[in-house]
Amino acid sequence: MKHRIVVLGAGYAGAFAAGNLARRLSPADTEITVVNAEPDFVERMRLHQLAIGQELAFRKLADVFAGTGVRLRLARVTGVDPERRTVAVTGADGDGELAYDTLLYTLGSSVAHHGVPGVAEYAFDVTGRSSALRLRERLAGLGGGGTVLVVGEGLTGIETATEFAESRPDLSVALAARGELGAWLSPKARRHLRQAFDRLGITVHEHTGIEAVEPTRAIAADGMSLPADVTVWSAGFAVHPIAAAGGLEVAETGQIVVDRTMRSLSHPDVYAAGDCAYAIGENGRPLPMSCASAGFTNMQATAAIIARLTGSEVPTTGLKYHGNHISLGRRDAIFQMVDRDVRSKSWYLGGRTAARLKSGVLKGAGWGIAHPTFGMPKRKRRLATAPDRPGVRAAA
């Protein structure tokens, strides 16, 4: 019987991981299945572009995994039972259940409402394709003008506000920040950011926490009313509660608590990568939810799975956060390096050069997803035990 590896989610972490596993493990011993609700690979880092009306090409996952030996199951994950080693799913074929020997959990994250009244009912977000398309339709309906309020001064909020202002100069775009805009950037990068906001005509409301969202406005903590035909909520991310509900050990954030190799502390046959993993970086701090972190954790998880299944020494990959790369529309960007303590270094790169670099990063990531088994070795690694023999299965 083959060793069954199930990967939940085909985002940046899951799609890369599935390709790496297929590239290195022999199909004679292993069976790899990817479960994803969407039929396409969604470039989450570009969803603000989709929302403002730009046309993006989406890659079919069936095409991505064609010829790789990876099985694709189009379904939504509804539950995980780590004691029985099963995953509950629902899709076009109805409800079902998948059994696994090794599980790689990469379901990612969604927008965090933080319990703010009106966010779920009236706000929009760009954390998923369906929500971005919903926002796209609303913005198109504004016609020749309107007010857009972006809530949140993190990377998503900044990129969304600048993209909207550049692409739709007819809109009045504002951003509500709990603190100071770009406070975490170096002084020069912060000045560059403010100049970009001024150039694009974006109004900034600093030290303004939003306590409620209504159909045509947002209410700040001090009672101030901010007009908004459209409120875009980008005030953080939250993980799906499936892991906690299934009995996996999770942090207060709901992320799966893992060791240095991305292995669940409570269930050693479960690994996690991407936003849903509570992973400690080399600086002793939890890695932030980001595409960069997804890359590091997915490489570590796949390396650990392959090593343990083939009886090799488990390698460790770097878990460092190197910096922030922020798009400011299509022709401007900021690349800010950080030190070991995630404090911004004095050096930064800005302008068109940084924008071209960001574009290259996005294209590189997309190319990697489209070629998941690029460089496939002629000889793939066999498992340490012979799972095809009756009653014998390689350990997770």
For the stretch 321-325, contacts whose Cβ atoms lie closer than 8 Å and that sit 24 or more positions apart, written own/partner, are 321/281, 321/283, 321/287, 321/288, 321/290, 321/292, 321/293, 322/292, 324/155, 324/184, 324/185, 325/354, 325/357, 325/358, 325/361
- What would the DSSP string read from start to end of 160-223? HHHHHHHH-TTEEEEEE-SS-TTTTS-HHHHHHHHHHHHHHT-EEETT--EEEEETTEEEETTS
Nearest-angstrom CA–CA distance, 233 and 48: 12
3-state SS, residue 282? coil
CA gap 41, 34 in Å, rounded: 12
Q: How much is the pTM? A: 0.91
Helix, strand, coil distribution of the chain in percent, nearest 5:
30, 30, 40
Query: What is the pLDDT at residue 384?
Result: 84
**pLDDT score at 392:** 39
Match 């939504």 to its residue by tokens: 76
Low-confidence ranges of the chain (pLDDT < 70): 372-379, 385-396
The CA angle 175-180-186, to the nearest 5 degrees, is 115
Q: In the prediction, which pLDDT does 389 show?
A: 37
Contact 286, 297 (CB under 8 A): no
DSSP secondary structure, 53-97, as one string? T-----EEHHHHSTTTT-EEEE-EEEEEETTTTEEEEEETTEEEE
Instruction: With beta carbons less than 8 A apart as the criterion, state whether 81 and 97 touch.
Output: no
- Predicted confidence at residue 374, as pLDDT, reads 67
